[in-house]
């Protein structure tokens, strides 16, 4: 199960109703923070999410609206007694910034903050555990920038208990079937693995692509994604400005969702020039009907 909670959906200039970029990705009750715009810890509190539960933090790039909220949250976690080490995945030169923050503001934290450099030119696994892979996805922005693709690992096969009884399968045969092997019975009958086993659930995936100009390569790298978040800073009439600033229009986001074969699309990172983001939604749904606006405080379950 993957659940995405939007904490911020504004672009560089926050508004009275929107905060800068930040999201919580909950994968089977493992909590990850993606980007950390200003006010992120207050938003987490409002959504009932304890920062002490964070397993890791992923920063897309080093523009302030994606990182300014991180440092006060590090301090708060120290005040709350966190002792578990925390990894922060981010591009260069985040290590230098973190070093100065720890030196001048948090030199007595009760836990370790470890920077893991993200190479924004590489598409590769940067984090992995028993149930999850996180891939970096190079993006096209004015500074080095990476998206993140959260992918549930395929679960172990289950063996149909009725087939176990029907064919009197031994423990060794059951174990072999769970490995994906076909089974040969004593009388020579060959049982195809697909006849005996099933996946307990279909693995889901979530891709976070912000900030970026439209990228066909990024779309290919998240092919088949269950839920895609893509920035939609501008409407199509501002496409020239979008390209100049390394951003996307709502139409760009929708076209990326089509190219990726995504099941659902969420758009965010809205420019403050739009009094209502509905105009951006209207543009996107004409191209990709299953589009929703990122709404702060809302969760999207896969």
Summarize pLDDT for 145-177 with one digit per residue, the tens.
Answer: 999 999 999 988 999 999 999 999 999 999 999
Determine the pLDDT at residue 200: 87
> Rounded mean pLDDT of 120-143?
97
Cα 283 from Cα 295, distance rounded (Å)? 17
Give the residue range(s) of CATH 3.60.15.10 domains in the chain: 2-155+201-301
In words, the CATH class of domain 2-155+201-301 is: alpha beta
Determine the pLDDT at residue 8: 97
* pTM of the entire predicted model: 0.92
Known catalytic membership, residue 160 = no
Determine the pLDDT at residue 15: 85
pLDDT tens-digit map of 229-259: 999 999 999 999 999 999 999 999 999 999 9
Quick one: which of 248, 294, 273, 291 has its CA closest to 7? 294
Of 35, 65, 211, 252, the catalytic one is: 65
Is the pLDDT score of 14 beyond 80? no
Is the pLDDT score of 285 beyond 90? yes
- Assess contact for 5 and 49: CB atoms under 8 A: yes
- Assess contact for 38 and 14: CB atoms under 8 A: yes
How would residue 288 be classed by pLDDT, with cut points 50, 70 and 90?
very high
Determine the pLDDT at residue 16: 86
- Assess contact for 204 and 131: CB atoms under 8 A: no
In this structure, what token pair is assigned to residue 67?
């990182």
> Rounded mean pLDDT of 190-212?
93
C-alpha distance from residue 87 to each of 96, 115, 126, 217 (Å): 15, 6, 11, 28
Determine the pLDDT at residue 180: 92
pLDDT tens-digit map of 32-45: 999 999 999 999 99
């Amino acid at each position: 199960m993957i659940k995405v909670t939007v904490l911020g959906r504004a672009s560089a200039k926050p508004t009275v109703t929107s905060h800068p970029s930040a999201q919580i990705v909950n994968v089977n009750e493992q909590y990850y923070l993606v980007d950390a715009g200003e006010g992120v810890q207050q938003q987490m509190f409002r959504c009932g999410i304890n920062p002490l539960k964070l397993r890791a933090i992923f920063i897309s790039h080093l523009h302030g609206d994606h990182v300014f909220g991180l440092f006060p949250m590090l301090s708060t976690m120290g005040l709350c007694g966190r002792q578990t080490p925390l990894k922060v995945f981010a591009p260069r030169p985040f290590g230098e910034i973190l070093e100065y923050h720890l030196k001048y503001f948090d030199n007595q934290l009760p836990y370790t903050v470890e920077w893991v450099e993200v190479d924004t030119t590489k598409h590769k696994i940067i984090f992995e555990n028993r149930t999850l892979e996180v891939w970096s996805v190079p993006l096209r922005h004015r500074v080095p920038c990476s998206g993140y693709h959260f992918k549930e690992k395929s679960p172990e096969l289950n063996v149909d208990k009725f087939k176990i009884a029907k064919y009197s399968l031994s423990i060794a045969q059951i174990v072999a079937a769970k490995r994906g092997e076909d089974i040969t019975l004593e009388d020579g009958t060959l049982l195809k693995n697909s006849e005996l086993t099933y996946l307990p659930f279909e693995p889901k995936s979530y891709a976070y692509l912000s900030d970026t100009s439209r990228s066909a390569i990024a779309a290919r790298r998240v092919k088949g994604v269950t839920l895609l978040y893509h920035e939609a800073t501008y409407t199509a009439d501002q496409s020239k400005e979008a390209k100049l600033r390394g951003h996307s229009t709502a139409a760009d986001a929708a076209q990326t969702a089509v190219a990726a074969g995504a099941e659902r699309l969420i758009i965010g990172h809205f420019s403050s020039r739009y009094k209502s983001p509905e105009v951006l939604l209207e543009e996107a749904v004409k191209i990709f009907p299953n589009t929703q606006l990122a709404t702060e405080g809302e969760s999207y379950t896969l």
